[in-house]
Amino acid sequence: MTSFDTSAIDELEPRSRYDGTVAVVTGSTRGIGAGVAKRLAAEGARVVVTGRSEDAGAETVADIEDAGGEAVFVRADMRDPDDIAALFEATVEEFGRLDVLVNNAGVETYTAADEAELDDWNFVLETDFRSYWLCAKHAREHMDEGAIVNMSSNHAFATTPSIFPYNAVKAGINGMTRSMAIDFGPEVRVNTVNPGWVAIDRTTGDMDEERREELASIHPTGRIGVPEDVAAAVAFLASDEAGFVTGASLTIDGGRSAVLQDDFLPDYRERREE
C-alpha cells in the first residue's frame, strides 16, 4: 500500500449509526475536522460545521450536502467564549437537540519552551485547551445523553523540538478527558483520539515525494494517515457501539509509536526480502 492509497477506506459503505442525531465538530472547515464532519454526516448525523472562515465552512457544508447529508455552518472563533456559547445555542435552535461534540479546533506555534512568549502560550491554550473545556461544558448543558470526542495528538506521549506549548496542551487534553468522563458520566461519555502523521495541507502540502516516501517507510502500516482514518475512529467512539468506552485515549498513528528507531523498519523489510 502506498502512502496515500485510501482505496480500502473509500470502499466502506456508510451505515446509519447516527440517524436522528446532531453533531457539532469544531475546526471542521478543513483537514481532519472536515473529514470527521463528512463521516458523521455520511452515517446520518445532522452536522454543525464551525470555524472562522465562512468560505471554507460553506465549502464543507456543500460537500456534505452534495453527498446527500445535512449540515449547516455556524461561524465561531474558539478563542471567544461568547462565540462558543452562541454556537451551542444556535445548534439547539436549529436542530432542537445535541448528541455529539467533537472538539477538534487546533493551532500550534513552532517555538521551544525557552523561546515561546506569552502571546504564543495564550494563542495555543485558548484555542486548543480552554475552548475544549468551554465547548464540552456548554454541550453538556444540552445533552440528555451523548458523547464527546476530544482531539489530542501523539505529541501527548512523545514529541519533537520547538513545538511548545502545543505538545504540553495535547498531554493536558488527555487528562481533561479523564476528568470529563468521570464528571459527565453516566449520561455523557468522553474519549480522546491521538492522531499521528496525517496528510493534510498543513502537514504534507509542501512535501516532495521523497520525503513522503521516507515518512511512509517509518510506519508499520507502510503509509501515513489520512483524515478518513481519524474520522472512522471518531465515528466509532461517539457511537452506541462504544457504549462501554469512556475516559479512553486511542492512538491513531499507523503504529508509529511502536517503533524505537526511525531507520529500523526500512532496513528490516529489506533484509526480509533478500
- Catalogue the active-site residues: 166
CA distance 39 to 102: 12
- 221 near 255, Cβ under 8 Å? yes
Q: Which among 88, 100, 91 has a CA at the least distance from the CA of 71?
A: 91
Q: How far is CA 163 from the centre of its chain?
A: 18
Q: How far is CA 23 from the centre of its chain?
A: 14
